Structure 1
Amino acid sequence: MSAWIQSIEGTDQGATVALILALLAAVLHAVFGALQKGRHDPMLARGAIDASYGLMAAPFALFVVPWPEPHMWPIFAGVFVIHAGYKFAVLAAYRRGAFTVVYPVMRGTGPLFTIVGAWLIFGETFSAVQWLGVVVLLAGLYGLAAFNMARVTVARDTLVPALAFAVLTGLFVALYTTYDAYGIRATADPFTFLAWFFFIDGLLFPVLATRFYRRMGSPPALGPLALRGVVGGVVAFASFGSIMLATRLDQVGEAAVLRETSTVFAALIGWLFLREPVGPARTALMGLIALGAVIVEFGG
């Protein structure tokens, strides 16, 4: 698999595979977001998910893939710090604001700054048509956030700090997307980066979540929490793994934009499986998000 990935880098086939991976990451990221925002406190859910994928990745990192080259260790240290900051920002936003408001803001801020970062670090540029697609996509995302904000009835007193943390989360999304793209390109075997990424990234939050759990007055049962962690761990492997491989195979900015169609897939999941109403306004805004992604993909 590693040899095949390396053989299609920078080719038309590689671009097609990157497109498929980015869309797969979008679908799975919608599922992943719902798992974090479920009936458990976000800290507990995050700790269970990180513990699961850290344990799953450990044997692959230690015994299956080639060990990282010496220059990779400082990169992994940066990965650890950046992703820890991202998770703290996500938890702060989720605890202060409604999911339907903060999630589109998080996802809208991320690709804009990722495109700028990819230009600064990798020299990637967008055409005028692609920038039009970015504007259309962001209009859909921020329009969806504003539409939901006008109708939300819970946590309105903490809405401003929730939005501030959502913007901060978007900045971290841009930072980790660009940095992870740099990391996965810096090692010969992309699966070395993926295995060690999940192993290292799964070290911190299980410890924090355990301390939080022990301080709770009425802690939840561990069985459902553990199940959420295992399912979330598998989804995280597929979601984050897909987007990282996509950024190695093709442009980082394009992959970041395509991933933000996760907002559309999240709404579709809610409509199909949770019987949540969508309505004509939300449908139109989600249409803008999808249209923007299509313009970016085919406007290059």
Structure 2
Amino acid sequence: MLGIAMLLVLGSGFIHSVWNLYTKRSRNKNVFLWYCQLIAVFAFLPWTILELDAVRWTGSAAALLAASMVLHGLYVLLLAAVYSIGDLSQVYPIMRGTSPLLVPLLGVFVLGETLSSIGWAGVALIVLGIVLVSDIRPGRSGGSSSRAPLLALAVGVCIAGYIIVDKKALEYIPAIVLNEASNIGNLLALSTVALRSGDMRAEWSANRNVIVLGGILAPAGYLLFLFALTLAPVALLAPMREIGTVFGAVLGVWVLRESQGRRRIWTSLLITAGVIVLGIWGGA
């Protein structure tokens, strides 16, 4: 079962990087993501209806579902913002590296847990990779060099939050229902800014085919991860998913022709190595 779970997670990471590439290439990120969520809601609705009877409706289930929708909604808004100003090959590794870094550090400093010396080495690799790929240089005018990395860090915080919440929610709610709830949360969060943008028709005309594909890929990738979480511990699987960090950097450099290609690919490998070390050998 562990082997199947790891294959699902690797597939999830690749799919996630591909639809992030589509998002980066879109004209209006808020509108593009709104359309993707709309497609996803309708595409997965029949399956969701079939699974509703399996939901264990309790107060805890409702609270976790609401928290998941809020966190996913905030995540997608920040995602649109970060791709409006940052390169895929820069911000994607930061986003994907932040969440697996935060969870164990919170365990150490808030819950009194411990990390092994190898685990701390993994932390150091992640932090070093994030610092190097951020490329924040004092003296740049307007602080523009720091805005995209800081937004990417905020996205990573949201990812850490919804992974923890969703893992707990799976005790009450089937993966497909939870995934559909996050699609609805994303759609609601994006609605105001997207519908008021005036770009609805232009975005659809320019990217309708990619929107339909992205609307399937985005929830499908996370759905694979949710299914994997039912087969193996999140502490083991979450780090493996971050191989998508390298996929995202490579796509940004090779497909979008973004600058600093060699540097960003190496730093994404550094972050990924740190995540894997921390996730697998970090326990004291």
Q: TM-score, normalised by structure 2?
A: 0.80
The Cα of 1:199 is off from its aligned counterpart by: 5.1
Percent identity over paired residues: 23
Q: Which residue of 2 aligns with 1:240?
A: 222
Q: Which residue of 2 aligns with 1:9?
A: none
SS in 1 for 2:211: helix
Deviations 1:35-55 (A, max 9, x none): 111132110111011011111
Return the match for 1:171 from 153, 157, 162: 157
**Are 1:225 and 2:207 counterparts?**
yes
Shift in alpha-carbon separation, 1:249–1:123, aligned structure 2, 3 A: farther
C-alpha separation between the residues in 2 aligned to 1:270 and 1:94?
Answer: 12
**Are 1:292 and 2:274 counterparts?**
yes
Deviations 1:238-286 (A, max 9, x none): 2111222333333323333222222211233346656668755444334
Q: Which residue of 2 aligns with 1:139?
A: 128
Unmatched tracts of structure 1, length 5 or more: 1-12
C-alpha separation between the residues in 2 aligned to 1:203 and 1:99?
Answer: 23
Return the match for 1:113 from 84, 93, 102: 102
Q: Which residue of 1 aligns with 2:178?
A: 193
The answer (yes or no) to whether the contact 1:267–1:278 under 8 Å persists in 2 is no
Q: Which residue of 1 aligns with 2:63?
A: 74
**Are 1:38 and 2:20 counterparts?**
no
The Cα of 1:70 is off from its aligned counterpart by: 1.5
C-alpha separation between the residues in 2 aligned to 1:240 and 1:193?
Answer: 10
Return the match for 1:24 from 1, 6, 11: 11
C-alpha separation between the residues in 1 aligned to 2:124 and 2:231?
Answer: 25
**Which has the larger displacement, 268-277 or 204-213?**
268-277
Return the match for 1:267 from 219, 225, 249: 249
The answer (yes or no) to whether the contact 1:54–1:202 under 8 Å persists in 2 is no
**Which has the larger displacement, 272-281 or 250-259?**
272-281
C-alpha separation between the residues in 2 aligned to 1:197 and 1:122?
Answer: 30
The answer (yes or no) to whether the contact 2:30–2:194 under 8 Å persists in 1 is no
**Which has the larger displacement, 274-283 or 85-94?**
274-283
Q: Which residue of 1 aligns with 2:44?
A: 57
Shift in alpha-carbon separation, 1:92–1:286, aligned structure 2, 3 A: closer
Deviations 1:184-236 (A, max 9, x none): 1333x444433x435533541563365134x34x9515244332221112211
Q: TM-score, normalised by structure 1?
A: 0.76
Shift in alpha-carbon separation, 1:98–1:283, aligned structure 2, 3 A: closer
The Cα of 1:58 is off from its aligned counterpart by: 1.2
